[in-house]
Amino acid sequence: MAITLSKGKAVDAMQLLTVHLRIKRYNPEVDSRPHWQEFEIQAKAADTVLNALHTVKWTLDGTLSFRRSCAHGVCGSDAMVINGQNRLSCVNLISDVGTDLVIEPIRGLPVIKDLIVDMEPFFAQYRSVVPYLIADDDPGYKERYQSQQDRERYDDTTKCILCACCTTSCPVYWANGDYVGPAAIVNAHRFIFDSRDHGTEQRLDILNQKSGVWRCRTAFNCTEACPRGIKVTQAIEEVKRAILYDRA
């Protein structure tokens, strides 16, 4: 009975479909443990999963809680597990994910309510890698120059929106929350490979610790999960190599 709609199949984007949602609910004010709740709504094939969640919240059950803002994949608020995979609800259409949806909060961070998790540990890990430009030169009243090649070197990791899809898809992170996780490493990579930055030693020291890059077991879940298409595992490997081979 599950309808999986594929891009190849000609589905009228405006056609109304019956969408079945099975959502993991938890409200600490009333529930002692999480439970599943099912909803049935009408949605267009071209609607996003976020549209479907809004339809539930706005017409069936106002208590359903989730984060969202931009609704087109640039703010990173609405990471969740959709049919077993970490995704942003606003960039996945019903025509991509099908009409039978199982939706859970992302894993590895404490659930506060419904699909909302505590993001503080994630941001603390981000902050721990000194994610800002460290430069002790004085460029004066002009821009620093950077060649197009040098700029390209770290382009991929500037795309990160800190949605946590990668970190919370990592089996190592599920087992050990001390691991800084893929997102923090991506944001360290962004500066380690920026020709203007002078903080590489400091960051490599941080990532060479027990909680750093060596926890990575190259499962590639992070790369698959990234909604921005960042080659996350490759970035982690590049940092590992920088620690092993590029240090004096």
Partner 1 sequence: MSLNVHFHSYDAVIVGAGGAGLRAAIEASGKCRTAVLTKLYPTRSHTGAAQGGMCAALANVEEDYWEWHAFDTVKGSDYLGDQPAIEIMCQEAIDAVIDLEHFGLAFSRTPEGKIDQRRFGGHTRNHGEAPVRRSCYAADRTGHMILQTLYQQCVARDVNFFNEFQVFDVLFEGEGKDRRCAGVVAYELATGDLHVFASKGVLFATGGYGKMFRISSNAHTLTGDGPGVLFQNGLPMEDLEFYQFHPTGIYGLGILLTEGARGEGGILRNGLGERFMERVAPTVKDLAPRDMVSRAIHAEIKAGRGAGPDKDYVYLDLTHLPPEQIDAKLPDITGFVRTYLGIEPKKDPIPIQPTAHYAMGGIPTNVNGEVVIDTNNTVMPGLYAAGECACVSVHGANRLGTNSLLDIVVFGRRGGRSMVQFVNTVDHPNVTKSAADKVRDRIEQVKSSTGGEKVAELRTTLQETMTRNASVVRTEESLTEAKATIDDLRKRYHGISIDDKGSIFNSDLVEALELSHLLDLANGLVMGAQARQESRGAHWRDDFPTRDDVKWMKHSFAYQDNEGNITLKYKDVVGGRYQPMERKY
Judged by CB under 8 A, which of 12, 31, 40, 155 binds partner 1?
Answer: 155
Judged by CB under 8 A, which of 1, 2, 9, 29 binds partner 1?
Answer: 29
The site string for partner 1 over 97-126 (x = CB under 8 A, - otherwise) reads ---------------xxx-x--x---x---
Q: What angle do CA 8, 11, 13 make, to 5 degrees?
A: 120
Spatial contact of 95 and 13, defined as CB atoms under 8 Å apart: yes
Under the binding rule (CB under 8 A), the answer on residue 182 touching partner 1 is: no
Spatial contact of 46 and 94, defined as CB atoms under 8 Å apart: yes
How far is Cα 145 from Cα 151, in angstroms, rounded to an integer? 10
Spatial contact of 73 and 109, defined as CB atoms under 8 Å apart: no
Q: CB of 120: closest distance to partner 1 in angstroms?
A: 8
Helix (H) or strand (E) holding 128: none
Reduce the secondary structure of 53-115 to three states and give it as a string: HHHHHHHHCCCCCCCCCCCCCCCCCCEEEECCEEEEHHHCEHHHHCCEEEEECCCCCCEEECC
Q: Which is nearer to partner 1, 167 or 216 (CB)?
A: 167
Q: Which is nearer to partner 1, 54 or 216 (CB)?
A: 54
Please give the size of the binding site for partner 1, defined by CB under 8 A.
63
Under the binding rule (CB under 8 A), the answer on residue 61 touching partner 1 is: yes
User: What is the β-pairing status of strands 111-113 and 116-117?
Assistant: antiparallel
Q: CB of 209: closest distance to partner 1 in angstroms?
A: 19
Under the binding rule (CB under 8 A), the answer on residue 133 touching partner 1 is: yes
What is the largest distance, in Å, between two alpha-carbon atoms of the chain? Answer: 66
Query: Binding to partner 1 (CB under 8 A): which residues in 63-82?
Result: 63, 65-77
User: What is the β-pairing status of strands 35-44 and 79-82?
Assistant: unpaired
Under the binding rule (CB under 8 A), the answer on residue 141 touching partner 1 is: yes
Q: CB of 231: closest distance to partner 1 in angstroms?
A: 14
Q: Which is nearer to partner 1, 193 or 216 (CB)?
A: 193
Could you tell me which of 19, 79, 26 has the C-alpha nearest to residue 52?
19
Contacting positions for partner 1 (CB under 8 A): 7, 13, 27-30, 46, 57-59, 61-63, 65-77, 91, 93, 95, 112-114, 116, 119, 123, 127, 130-133, 135, 139, 141-148, 150-151, 154-155, 158-162, 191, 194, 196-197
